[in-house]
Structure formats: structure tokens, C-alpha cells
Structure 1
């Protein structure tokens, strides 16, 4: 690939893919359910097109550390589809429809190519585009809350509920007020900004990075009202700050572990206290954990399989969501336990592969940005599974950045050897 022209094309592809993921900045209403946060069909469409173009114009040997991972994932999904077809009475096509969102992972190759050419350029694009999306969401909710004005077209917020009206209305209200949910790349951009802030090899304006972190935390607190993400972002910030310090010793590590254990104990105590006080959110999470562990025990190898979110038959719906229609169980709430229930032991293997692979790479390169991604992967095991349809673009971006980090570290190592000689 000719680097100047190739870089420009890949930068354009990246910007378009991110804007598509942010539903074209909510400037207009997408038809049907395409504007919904879990609907990545348009993103998948563009991912496949840009992947094809990148495959044609790319002439150099590139580093794709997660190529085998993606191939094995699709092989596994094929087996799951076959298992689902012969196990349930759902339509033949329904299980294959569940594979379609995973095609968005082909955007990984597009992102990775740019990351390998110019990692800083990719990170800057990601952070700036994400910050714009956050600002739009904040402005929209403030105008709607205080002035009753609605400008941007967020799904089921200001241009009508499309499907499952009760469910959509319920999901868009919290603490007695409206909430807006945009792409999960928003959350991830803050984690990346934290890593970049403490990584001396990343040349991005600190003002841009700090603005993204502050605005994202405000978004999580006021707009999306997602308590867990606020906690994760703050913890990752503290961990990256501590572990990135020069002279960090075993004493420092023990100190962090002690404070981490104390925090975990406090969090467990708070959750049980919330249960006693009637906080349904925590109670429902415990129900979901128990429910999907039972599904895993039923079939520990392949789990429930590729049953859709809305199976035709009632008994299949109960397998996916339980018998409570007004408060259904959801895989996405309980991270790796949801993966166990849906995909069995293979779901566990694919989930823990990401933090293990990142830990191994970071042990070799000791990179601050890589460390922040590692912490994010660990937290994704709790209740933010990266294999949910709406988080697959986050998975594609994160592993592409890892490729870029490794390529950049290799270049730095070569340059240091040249300087030494």
C-alpha cells in the first residue's frame, strides 16, 4: 500500500465507519429500527465494503494479531447455527441472522491497517468523533429537559417508539427522568483517552484527551445514567496512573491490590445494602446470574445456542429471557456469565482470551495504552460483554489498536537499535 494515499483512504474509511456507528450523529431519523443502539446492520454493510476495498489496495505484509481469533470465532458460530437448527423449531434462517452482526468485525482489518500506518492518527479520529457524539447527546438532553426542545434524532427518544413500546419507554427512563443511550464506543473512547494521557509515545493534545474523559463521565452520570461505566472509567484511570509511574514496585502493587480488595468488599456491601433497601437493579442482576448459570448447566459445551432475542415459540423465549415478560433476563447485563449461558464453555474461552492475550503482550512491551485496554477487557467480563451486537464495533476497534501498538513498539525498538549502532 502506498502510505500517503493509503493512509488518506483509510482515514476516510475510519471516519465514515465511526459516524455510521454514531448513527450519522443523530442528524436524521433512520428508517425502522436502524437507529437503535443494538442495530449494527448499516455499520456491518460499510464494514464489508471498506474491507473489500482495503483488501484490494493493500500490498504490504500487515500484522493482524487477531486474524486466527476471528476465523475461529466464525467457525464456532457456524457450529452453533447448526446446533440451533437441529435443537429448536425456530425458522432455519433465524440462527444465521444472529451471525450477521458479527460481520461488523471485518471493520477490524480496516482500522488495523490505519493503526499500523499511523496509530496516533487513528486514536485522534476516534477520540474527536466520539467527543462530538457525546456533546450532541448532552446538548439534546439538556435542551429537552429544561426547554422541552428536541433537535437530534435519537432512537425512540424524540421521533416515536418504533417497536416494543413498553420495553423501549422503560429502557429510556431512569431515576424518574429521560436517558439517552448512544454507541458503546463512547465509553471505550474515555478508556483510550486515559491510556493516551499517560503514554508518552502518543502525541495527542492533552486538552483533547481530558475534554473527552470529562465529557464522557458527565455523559455517563447525567445522560446515560450508567453507574457501572462511571465506576469502571474512574478505576481504570487510577490503575493506569499508578501502574504507569516510574519506579512502580511490588510495594505499590500490593498497595493497589489492598485498595482494590477494599473497594470490591465495599461494592459488594453496597449491593447487598441496596437489595435490602429495594434497589431492583441489583436484585435483577442476581436473578440473571442464577438464570444463565442454570442455562449453562443444561448444556455446558454450546449453551443455549443462536436463539434470537425474540424467538417465535414461547418455550424458546423462556430459555432466552425467562418467564417474566415485564422484566426479562438479558445476556448483556451479566458479562461472561451471559456468554456461558448463551455459548457454553466456548463463550468463556473467547471471553477470557482477550484479557489473557493483552496481558501477555503487555508483559512483553510494557505499554500504558495496552494496559488500559487490558483493564477494560477485564471489566467487560463483569457486565459489558464485547460479543453483544452493539459492542462488536468496540471489539473491532480495541483489537485494531492493539495491532497498532505492537507495530509502533516494533518500530521504536528498531530505531533504538539503529541509534545504538
Structure 2
């Protein structure tokens, strides 16, 4: 049997991202919180170096390659400013910019995905892997009655509040962010493109992913985002065949789904304030970082100092509970300052204008763009769990653009 290097590389990618289905313990450097992406970081750096050497030092930048390169310059600038203003060491700032090495995967994946069979293989392996992980975590959350009932290697992922308060249903953060955010759209697109024919396993897979977001991640806004993206893809793909009755049926179905979400998990305003306990905390964080930008135009940096220090309260706010990750685009402004904020605005404009001018009738790209735009103010794609979402979004948009250039007319296939 001929060795398929792409099968090996893709399997390795998903096994690293999901830590061997969380069935085995990982070294402390690569383990801990699910937001620790060092495993994928090392994978990305090695794969990029191999790609760079094979291409004799040449980069095919595609649509977004130059944006990524400029972003790395902004990271270097932010690191130098942080070292100068706050006395951080090179090691401290290096660890904080390493997760952004995931964006390097854009370059090799854009080239690998030029071959449709490689892209299809990547999606297939990812779909199977995420489905298995979804099953395992749904079972784990259902069976959870304290640490003795934990069969997955997630002790470091479970927040202390859930360990000592068993009356609250277990919630696990970050595992179903990132890749799942993109794959739930990719799998939904497969079903829509096939018009639900021969889609039994795809539907099961989609339901498992949605179930994991609903039951394990428990982020209402995240779930609403993907449901809106999926509905939009369905309507765009079937725009020529839509009737009043089918449109009303779709709206009734989605409205019923939203009511179930809100009745089960509370109001959407509660979702927006999950991490801090109140919407006031997020509003306070936005006001705090907007005020600080006048004093620190290059941002407060990515590093979080030791708790209790004066620098800690400068970064985290006077009460120590403000988080960059809670306020989306404004978190980018707080951490990377005006250069990072302006870069993200320009990237967003590039993505949206590319979508409007070239892909407005393409259902898959529309779903990805809707998810991206809806996440801007609350769940930035530059947050650690979602950097991989940004990378894959750019890769897929670049691939769809190449298909348009190759075929003349972009078709939904």
C-alpha cells in the first residue's frame, strides 16, 4: 500500500489538536488548559520550514499572505515595546507570541489544498476526529460527578468552580472552539450541497458537533453564530428555489431552535457575560482599554504578569478580572494597540470586500464570513482558541478564489 503523506500529516494535525482524543496524558508543556496550543505551534513551525525549504525560500502569499507577514511585524513591535515599558524578558514575550505561529500554516495549506482531493481528505479526517471527540466529551459531561468520574485526561481543563460545586452542570471551555467553529460550517455545507441526499453520517456528525457546542461548551452566542451561518448558507444555496412557504418554514424552525437555546441556557445577555459574571464587566473592560490606549498607543502587550503585582492590575484592570478574550476586537486594541487594531480592521475589510465582490453567491464562503463578522465584538479570531479559525478561514477563502480564477464562474459543488 502506497504511503500517503497527506493522510499522515492530517491525522497528526488533528491528533495533536485534540491531544489523542484526550485519552492519554500529555507532557505539561503541551498539556494543561485547552487554550494551550503549543503542540499545534510546533507542528505549524516544522511544516512551514519544510514548505519554505522545498520552495527554495519562496512564499506564495495568495490573498492574505502579506497580511500575515505584516501581523508578525506588529507582534515584534508589540514585544519590543512591552520589553521597554514593562521590563519583560525575551522569554516572556516569546511565549506569548508563539501561538500566532499557527498562522504560518496558511502558506503550506494553501498550496496543498490546490488539489481538491487533499482538501476533501482534510475535511473528512477532521469530521471523523471531531465527531469522536464530541461523543467522548458529551458522555464525560453527562457522567460528571466530581473528579473520580473523570475518564478523560482533562483534570487541568476543568475550572475549580466546577470541581468544588457539583450542583452546577460541568462546562468545558475552548476544546470545541477553533477547529470546531470552522468544521461545523464545513459539514453543514456538505449536507446542503448534497441537498440532504446520502448525508446520513454527515447529519449525525453535524448534530454531534452542535451537541458538543450546546452541552459541553455551553456558549449561547457561539451556538447562535453557527446556526445563523448555517441558515444563511441554506438560504443562499437555495435562493433560486425558495418559496414563501419554505422560507417561513425555515424561519419557524430556527425561531423554535433559538427559543430552546434561550429556555435551556438563559438569555443571550447572560452568554455575553459568561466569563466575568455580568455584562457590566465587559462594558467596563471596553471602557478601561479604550482609556488606556491614549497612554499606551502600542497596547499593553500580550503577556499577563503574576497575579498581585502592579503590572497585573494594569493589564487586568483595577479589580483584576478584565480579559482581552472577552471583548473581541477591543481586546486586540488593548493588547496590540492601534497597530493591531488597525490591522484587524483592514483584514476584516479585505475579507468582507472579497466576499461581496467575488463570493456573495457562494454559500460556504458566506457562512464563514457571517461567523467571522458576528464574532468580532465578543469572540475575536485572534484569541488563542480561535487563531486556528482565522487561519482556516483565510485558507478556504483563498482556495475558493483560486477555483473562481480557474473555472471562470464559482459554482457551489
TM superposition score normalised by structure 1: 0.78
Q: Distance in 1 between matches of 2:182 and 2:6?
A: 21
Q: Distance in 1 between matches of 2:212 and 2:348?
A: 27
Is structure 2 residue 392 aligned with structure 1 residue 397?
yes
Q: Quick check: 1:43–1:104 contact (8 Å CA) kept in 2? A: yes
1:49: how far off? 1.4
Q: Quick check: 2:60–2:107 contact (8 Å CA) kept in 1? A: no
Q: Quick check: 1:10–1:110 contact (8 Å CA) kept in 2? A: no
1:311: how far off? 4.3
1:223: how far off? 1.4
Is structure 2 residue 13 aligned with structure 1 residue 17?
yes
Q: Distance in 1 between matches of 2:96 and 2:170?
A: 30
Q: Distance in 1 between matches of 2:76 and 2:18?
A: 29
Q: Deviations over 1:160-195 (max 9, x none)?
A: x7xxxxxx3137779812222314222321122233
Alignment of 1:37-48 (within 5 A): 37-48=34-45
Is structure 2 residue 377 aligned with structure 1 residue 377?
no
RMSD (Å) for aligned C-alpha atoms: 3.7
Q: Quick check: 1:194–1:237 contact (8 Å CA) kept in 2? A: yes
Number of the residue aligned with 2:170: 178
- Return closer, same or farther for 1:75/1:385 CA change in 2, 3 Å cut-off: same
Q: Deviations over 1:86-134 (max 9, x none)?
A: 1113334322322111112222223323322123333223322222221
1:395: how far off? 1.9
Q: Distance in 1 between matches of 2:176 and 2:368?
A: 18
Number of the residue aligned with 1:294: 291
Q: Distance in 1 between matches of 2:329 and 2:35?
A: 19
Alignment of 1:141-220 (within 5 A): 141-145=141-145, 149-156=149-156, 168-170=159-161, 176-181=168-173, 182-184=175-177, 185-199=179-193, 206-220=199-213
1:135: how far off? 1.6
1:399: how far off? 1.5
Number of the residue aligned with 2:127: 127
1:226: how far off? 1.4
- Return closer, same or farther for 1:371/1:81 CA change in 2, 3 Å cut-off: same
1:138: how far off? 1.2
Q: Deviations over 1:282-316 (max 9, x none)?
A: 333223222222233433x322123x123477221
- Return closer, same or farther for 1:57/1:409 CA change in 2, 3 Å cut-off: same
Q: 85, 88, 112: which is aligned to 1:114?
A: 112
Number of the residue aligned with 2:319: 324
1:225: how far off? 1.6
- The unaligned stretches of length 5 or more in structure 2 are none
Q: Quick check: 1:221–1:227 contact (8 Å CA) kept in 2? A: yes
Is structure 2 residue 263 aligned with structure 1 residue 304?
no
Q: Distance in 2 between matches of 1:280 and 1:143?
A: 26
Q: 267, 281, 285: which is aligned to 2:282?
A: 285
Number of the residue aligned with 1:409: 404
Q: Secondary structure at the match of 1:153?
A: coil
Alignment of 1:2-13 (within 5 A): 8-13=4-9
Number of the residue aligned with 1:165: none
TM superposition score normalised by structure 2: 0.80
- The unaligned stretches of length 5 or more in structure 1 are 162-167, 417-421
Q: Distance in 1 between matches of 2:77 and 2:292?
A: 18
Alignment of 1:247-266 (within 5 A): 247=240
Q: Deviations over 1:60-87 (max 9, x none)?
A: 9956322101110111111111111111
Q: Secondary structure at the match of 1:356?
A: helix
1:273: how far off? 9.3
1:378: how far off? 0.3
- Return closer, same or farther for 1:207/1:338 CA change in 2, 3 Å cut-off: same
Q: Distance in 2 between matches of 1:315 and 1:205?
A: 60
Give the number of aligned pairs. Answer: 382
Q: Quick check: 2:328–2:378 contact (8 Å CA) kept in 1? A: yes
Q: Distance in 2 between matches of 1:96 and 1:316?
A: 18
